[in-house]
Amino acid sequence: MPILELKDVHSYYGHIHALKGISLTVEQGEIVTLIGANGAGKTSTLRTISGLLHPREGQVFLEGEQINGLPAHIIVSKGIGQSPEGRQIFSRLSVMENLEMGAYSRKDKEGIKSDLDHVFRLFPRLKERRSQTGGTLSGGEQQMLAMGRALMTRPRVLLLDEPSMGLAPVLVETIFEIIRDLNKEGVTILLVEQNAAKALSIANRGYVMETGRIVLSDEASKLQESELVRKAYLGED
Amino acid sequence: MNASLTAQANSPNQTSMRAWSVALRYGLIGGAVALFLALVGMVEAFATRYVIANVIDLGTLLLFLSYLGAGYVAIKRSGARTPFEILSQGAFAGFIASVFIALLAVVIYAIPGIRTIFINASPALLAILTFKMGVPAGLVPILLSGVIFGAIGGLIEILPPSLRRSLIYAAMVVLVFGLMQDLLRVTLQKWKFLDPATSFTFSNNGLTIVGAVTLFILTFLASQLWQRRGNEARARYRQLPTRQQQLLGWGLIAFSVALLLVLPLLVGLFFSEVLVNVGLFILLGLGLNIVVGFAGLLDLGYVAFYAIGAYTVALLTSTSLEIVYAGGNPFWLALPFAVFFAVLAGVILGIPVLKIRGDYLAIVTLGFGEIIRLIVLSDFLKPILGGSRGIELIPKPFIGSFEFAGPEELYYLILAGCGLAAFVAIRVKDSRLGRAWGALREDEDVAEAMGINLVSTKLMAFAMGAAFGGLSGAIFASKLAIIYPSSFNLLLSINVLAVVIIGGMGSIPGVVLGALVLVGLPELLREFSDYRLMLYGAALVIMMLVRPEGLWPEKSRQRELHESQQEEILSGPLAADEEVAREGAAG
Ligand SMILES: Nc1ncnc2c1ncn2[C@@H]1O[C@H](COP(=O)(O)OP(=O)(O)OP(=O)(O)O)[C@@H](O)[C@H]1O
Ligand SMILES: [Mg+2]
């Protein structure tokens, strides 16, 4: 049974039909990437999974259990963590407080502490700056904080929305390494990326979205070869 | 900041031109302030109260302070550094400010008809402005006072911070003693053995000169001593074993509690009345602080919960024959209902506004407050709620045979209420719920993505805030014995909000301080009552410009407003003072 499954999901913002029948699956332990042009509906897909957006039609399953319609805070506690697009951190809270907020829905003090250590091992920079306010961190540090905070929910499935957005090439490299490490530790990852080449290089499988629909899905290596992807997203001709 | 700007200007001539034009600008502003104070009638109204007997009255002092402020800010902004520049530019700013007053004196003198336009431009005002010397003789002392106080203002700005702080404290103590002399004298007279000291310090109207000087020197010395030795004392305290530190801490708390408990006995009837009013606002402020300060939900209809608490107690306890439904119960039976109905109203308000944010929330809650007032006022419910005549004959609370009859007894009821509310607020602030509120205040969307249940978190904020409002209203009703719908208007919501903002949003000691300043001071100075709203407005504007984080800011709030300076986070009013002082020294 896939850990995450979407079946013919339709989501709307008012009258705007953002997702027009999305079906996708993510298996336990995979990295799956979702690529597509601006406005294709990638963020909307993630928001639908995490309960911030409720689909009008179709279903979302977590390990076979239907979760669409549940409020976001319940879905978090069921094990879906997310690092939202655009580094939405609490800019007036300190790094530490941000991370603590990530563990909000948990009660296991021991586990929280060890996860905090874990996050600080992954991102030593955050440890140095733990009492600094989120808003004064550099862009890259904010991205690390957003990811660290998502990890503090101890997710089984981690939804990452453009974790490399606006980062210097070296940092992009680091972030992708961390994503791979996390995955090795057993976290299943659904990754939305503009940087299609990078994303496909670490993913097992990928989906290509256009205007609210999935137009292509395959093994990551096959997608890298495909005509469409090469032209539209890898900037080759 | 400005020093570096000045340094960049290429020629020294240009620099000094700029400094003089800065002095001119603040002189003009100071003059406008002085003129305004005179023309709205504050100078004349306050002139009846002497700060120091037959030497200086409060009205004249306001003018002097305008000159002083002009000189102070001018030097602060112009970056003048040599003694000559400071004195001359400060004096210049003060002089410009005083020219406004001199011109006003001439106008009042030359055009008596001016009163038809400016009703306060009276001969009495002329006498005050010209030190009873009239025009033209009085113009000289006006301009002279401008020069002198402007120069003093300039000097204050360049004093070492520690000296400046001591001087300001000393001046403030003299001012406070001078303003509250009636009350202080009456209170001090309760102790016969203090008589010599009392008559030494106070005359029939204002402080005596020696009394004022003594007070000034004593405060100055105490402040200096504390600044020199305070660090030492603090260091010694830190070296003590934890056990003793705790003991000292408990001792301090026990002392404060004991002091609070005997306060009404010490200060007498009138002060107790003031304390009771302040206490009601502290209670309201603590409640609203949860909604606005902790959870960031701007509620402009907070008065509704106060009204519901008050009317519940009134309906359940009134012995009026018109209340045929449920009246005649004891206060303590009615109290839980008052809180319950307030909470219920909080939830009822909360549910429809769950999805509403920011400005819109403010408008909706504003409407809610008005709706409650209009319901209470309505003809439809008049048989039950009494319409505009309100409900009368509300009895005082009893414990056994002890009646909370007057302010001196009601004080204890309020104290208990405030203590309870403060305790709950402090505990909840550091709880899971408190952190959820903090996240909500920062960013609702991210909070939701972090697994925070927005519905229950928001409703808890509204409910808890409403509970404190209801409690406060209940005490208010039994204190007044009669309540009218007009006691529960929008202005009250605004006042409570002002208490929270001036104190420092989200800060619990801030609420106490805010209520003392905004409610306590105007009660003590009856002359102020006509100008109360104007002073509120002025205080709010000045606070937003000078100290937007409030008098006693909460930590993260302070960070937010001083994000550029990543300094160690300071807390408490003195620490914040230091920050201002350092800025001053640096700029
Ligand atoms: N809150 C909203 N209200 C109305 N329309 C929205 C909202 N959010 C997104 N949309 C619309 O839904 C569509 C999909 O947006 P979405 O954010 O999912 O795209 P995306 O694939 O994440 O794009 P990008 O790569 O630019 O982040 C777009 O047409 C967008 O304009
Ligand atoms: Mg997006």
C-alpha B220: how far from chain center: 24
Sort out which chain B residues have CB atoms less than 8 A from A104's CB and list them: 432, 435-436, 439, 450-452
Looking at per-residue pLDDT, the higher value among B293 and B526 belongs to B293
How remote is the C-alpha of B262 from its chain's centroid?
Answer: 24
Q: Which two tokens stand for residue B570?
A: 């300071």
Closest CA to B79 of B70, B69, B89: B89
What's the full length of chain B, in residues? 587
Cβ <8 Å between A136 and B446: no
Cβ distance B453 to A77 less than 8 Å, yes or no, reads: no
B446 alpha carbon – ligand 2 mean position (Å):
15
Structure tokens that stand for B17 in this block:
């031109």
> CA A109, A113, A119, A125 torsion: positive or negative?
positive
Residues in A closer than 8 angstroms to B450, CB to CB, are 76, 101-102, 104-105, 149, 153
Helix (H) or strand (E) holding B30: helix B12-39
Per the DSSP assignment, residues forming a β-bridge with A210 are: A213
Ligand 1: which of A17, A44, A161, A191 to mutate, judged by most atoms within 8 Å of the beta carbon?
A44
Q: What is the pLDDT of residues B124-159, one digit of tens each?
A: 999 999 988 888 899 999 999 999 999 999 988 888
The contacts of residue B521 (CB under 8 Å, 6+ apart) are B528
pLDDT digits (tens, 9 = 90+) for A182-236: 999 899 999 999 888 889 999 999 999 999 999 989 898 888 888 777 777 766 6
pLDDT in tens, B415-434: 999 999 999 999 999 888 99
> Per-residue pLDDT tens for B18-32?
888 999 999 999 999
Is it the case that residue B567 has pLDDT exceeding 60?
A: no
Instruction: From chain B, pick out residues whose CB is under 8 angstroms from the CB of A135.
Output: 563
**If pLDDT is split at 50, 70 and 90, which confidence band does B492 have?**
very high
**Model pLDDT, residue A226:** 82
Q: Is the pLDDT of residue B97 over 90?
A: yes
Closest atom, ligand 1, to C-alpha of A16:
5
Contact with chain B for residue A70, Cβ under 8 A: no
Contact B556 A93 (CB under 8 A): yes
Contact B445 A132 (CB under 8 A): no
Residue B263's CB: how many other CB atoms inside 10 A? 16
Percentage of chain B modeled with pLDDT above 70? 91
Residue whose CB lies within 8 A of the most ligand 1 atoms, among A13, A195, A209, A211, for a mutation test: A13
Q: Are B135 and B106 in contact (CB under 8 A)?
A: yes
Q: What is the mean predicted confidence (pLDDT) over B183-188?
A: 77
Strand (E) or helix (H) holding A57: strand A57-62
* pLDDT number for residue B585: 42
Distance CA B481, CA B476 (A): 8
Residue B102's SS3 state is helix
8 Å CB contact between A215 and A41: no
How buried is B18 (Cβ within 10 angstroms: 0-12 exposed, 13-18 middle, 19+ buried)? Answer: middle
Chain B residues inside the 8 Å CB shell of A132: 566
Within 10 A of A178 (CB to CB), how many other CB atoms are there?
17
d(CA B293, CA B298): 9
Q: How far apart are CA B441 and CA B449, in angstroms?
A: 14
Q: What is the pLDDT of residues A131-178, one digit of tens each?
A: 888 888 888 888 889 989 988 988 999 999 998 887 888 888 888 998
| Ranges of each domain in chain B | 15-158, 161-239, 267-490
Say how many Å lie between the CA of residue B21 and the centre of ligand 2: 53
Q: What are the backbone angles phi and psi of residue B52, rounded to the nearest 5°?
A: -115, 130
How many A-B residue pairs are in contact by the CB < 8 A criterion? 71
Q: Ligand 1: list residues with CB < 6 Å.
A: A 13, 16, 18, 36, 38-44, 85
Rounded to a whole number of angstroms, the distance from the CA of B554 to the nearest CA of chain A is 12
Contact assignment for A84 to B445 by CB distance below 8 Å: yes
Split at pLDDT 50, 70, 90, the class of B578 is very low
Q: Is A25 helix (H, G, I), strand (E, B) or coil?
A: strand
- The answer to whether A6 touches A23, Cβ cutoff 8 Å, is yes
> A63 vs chain B: nearest CA distance in angstroms?
19
* Minimum distance, in Å, between the CA of residue B451 and any CA atom of chain A: 4
Query: How far separated are the first and last CA of chain A, in Å rounded?
Result: 39
- Predicted local distance difference test score (pLDDT) of residue B557: 55
Q: What pLDDT, on the 0 to 100 scale, is given for residue A119?
A: 92
Query: In degrees to the nearest 10, what's the CA dihedral of B479, B482, B487, B492?
Result: 10
What DSSP letter does each residue of A123-139 carry, written as one string? -HHHHHTTTSBGGGS-H
